[in-house]
């Protein structure tokens, strides 16, 4: 199975980021995880939220920001990876004048129903 980035339509998630689902079981033939690009616009912060089921991996591909992960806050830059365990409150703030791009892998796959705003 292959997807083409330019053919994928983005949508806004509950947390306020814009997502392109690069690979998701609802649309593609994969079974247990999803891969997406999230974009946090310049100067914006996603809503604090958690997922009860999904473990998320973030990989910062472009931009800079401040990650809130449970009680921790730390800077994130291109090349950084973050593991977000199920049940952990998190959000990310874009601290620049350019979009923040994040490659997100979720297992099990991302679901709006598994996103709880805090």
Q: CB neighbours of 83 closer than 8 A, spacing ≥ 6?
A: 55, 56, 57
Q: What is the mean pLDDT of residues 61-83?
A: 98
User: How far is 13 from 19, CA to CA, in rounded Å?
Assistant: 7
pLDDT band, residue 51 (cuts 50/70/90) = very high
Please state which of the ranges 24-33, 49-58, 87-96 shows the lowest mean pLDDT.
Answer: 24-33
Q: How confident is the model at residue 14, as a pLDDT? A: 86
CATH of domain 18-117: 2.60.120.10
CA distances from 68 to 26, 76, 79, 99 (A): 29, 10, 17, 18
% of residues, the chain, pLDDT over 90: 81
User: How far is 45 from 47, CA to CA, in rounded Å?
Assistant: 6
């Amino acid at each position: 199975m292959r997807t083409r980035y330019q053919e994928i339509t983005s949508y806004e998630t509950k947390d306020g980021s814009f997502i392109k689902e690069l690979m998701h079981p609802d649309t593609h033939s994969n079974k247990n995880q999803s891969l997406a690009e999230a974009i946090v616009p310049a100067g914006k912060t996603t809503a604090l939220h958690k997922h009860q089921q999904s473990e998320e991996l973030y990989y910062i591909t472009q931009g800079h920001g401040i990650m809130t992960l449970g009680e921790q806050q730390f800077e994130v830059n291109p090349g950084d990876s973050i593991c977000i365990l199920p049940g952990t409150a998190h959000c990310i703030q874009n601290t620049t004048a350019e979009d923040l791009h994040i490659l997100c892998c979720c297992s099990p796959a991302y679901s709006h129903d598994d996103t709880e705003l805090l």
